[in-house]
Amino acid sequence: MIIRQFEPDDFQDVLLIEMEAFSEHNPFLYINFYETNRDYFLVAQAGGSVVGYVVGYQLTEMEGRIFSIAVNSEYKNCGIGTQLLYAIFDVLYENAFQYVSLEVRASNKGAQKLYRRLGFVPCWIEEGYYSDGEDGIIMKMRLHQPFLLNALKIKEEVVPIRHEPV
Ligand SMILES: CC(C)(COP(=O)(O)OP(=O)(O)OC[C@H]1O[C@@H](n2cnc3c(N)ncnc32)[C@H](O)[C@@H]1OP(=O)(O)O)[C@@H](O)C(=O)NCCC(=O)NCCS
């Protein structure tokens, strides 16, 4: 498994993962992110396929914001989400950001658990943030050098939970 920058040929794979993972979609945003924030648009590639992505942007001079992260459902719980997050922490840190933040649906307990495990803390609630009225939780973390060390330690191969579509 490798983590690398998004390339235009990855667009379809990324959109398929995004369509499966989320109920709200705007494909043009991803093109826009590629054009304006390509340093912060990373994909995980396993066995020749893109199996996950993370995309972020500059929120303020000191803070990067993770816009979206998703992993192909066949490859969840293999550590790919963690590796994508470490990789984007690394890029943000190299670009002199001191903080990274994200927003997560109040009901998305699995993702919140993952973010807490990595050091994010819930900061405030954006009421009715999502188009269906659900609240969003803003989580934040200070970036520091050990993430670079962690990012270097993530070379081990990941094995998908299952290969066949359900
Ligand atoms: C959230 C998401 C990106 C996480 O991706 P992931 O690849 O499953 O994440 P990881 O595998 O790194 O971590 C998930 C869990 O698997 C566990 N795990 C990590 N490596 C593992 C391994 N080798 N074997 C088994 N489990 C492992 C982790 O401990 C983690 O558990 P915990 O955080 O609940 O304690 C993914 O679930 C997803 O795409 N969800 C839908 C979209 C979404 O909700 N995005 C977030 C919006 S804010």
Alpha-carbon distance 161 to 164, whole Å?
10
Please classify residue 45 by burial: count the beta carbons closer than 10 Å to its beta carbon, then call 0-12 exposed, 13-18 middle and 19+ buried.
middle
Alpha-carbon distance 142 to 129, whole Å?
24
Q: How confident is the model at residue 128 (pLDDT cuts 50, 70, 90)?
A: very high
- DSSP strand pairing (136-142 vs 121-126): antiparallel
Alpha-carbon distance 15 to 27, whole Å?
7
Task: Of 35, 42, 89, give the one whose Cα is nearest residue 64.
Answer: 89
pLDDT tens-digit readout, 49-64: 999 999 999 999 999 9
Which residues are near ligand 1 (CB < 6 Å)? Answer: 21, 69-71, 76-82, 102, 104, 108, 110-111, 113-114, 117
- The residue to mutate among 73, 76, 102, 157, having the most atoms of ligand 1 within 8 angstroms of its beta carbon, is 76
Q: Ligand 1: distance of its center to the CA of 71 in Å?
A: 8
Domain boundaries, the chain: 2-152
Q: Ligand 1: distance of its center to the CA of 81 in Å?
A: 5
Taking CA atoms, 72 is separated from 18, 77, 118, in Å, by 9, 10, 20
Alpha-carbon distance 26 to 19, whole Å?
10
- The residue to mutate among 18, 78, 129, having the most atoms of ligand 1 within 8 angstroms of its beta carbon, is 78
Alpha-carbon distance 72 to 18, whole Å?
9
Atom of ligand 1 nearest to the CA of 111: 1
- Output the six-digit token pair for 78: 């293999």
Instruction: Tell me the average pLDDT across 1-24.
Output: 94
Question: Given a cut of 70, is residue 162 above it in pLDDT?
Answer: no
Residue 147 φ then ψ, to 5°: -65, -35
Atom of ligand 1 nearest to the CA of 83: 12
Residue 33 φ then ψ, to 5°: -60, -40
CB 102 within 8 A of CB 115: yes
Mean pLDDT of the chain: 89
CB 43 within 8 A of CB 71: no
Atom of ligand 1 nearest to the CA of 116: 33
The CATH number for 2-152, chosen from 3.40.190.80, 2.30.40.10, 3.40.190.10, 3.40.630.30, is 3.40.630.30
CB 40 within 8 A of CB 55: yes
What is the pTM for the complete model shown?
Answer: 0.89
- The residue to mutate among 14, 24, 67, 82, having the most atoms of ligand 1 within 8 angstroms of its beta carbon, is 82
pLDDT of residue 148: 58
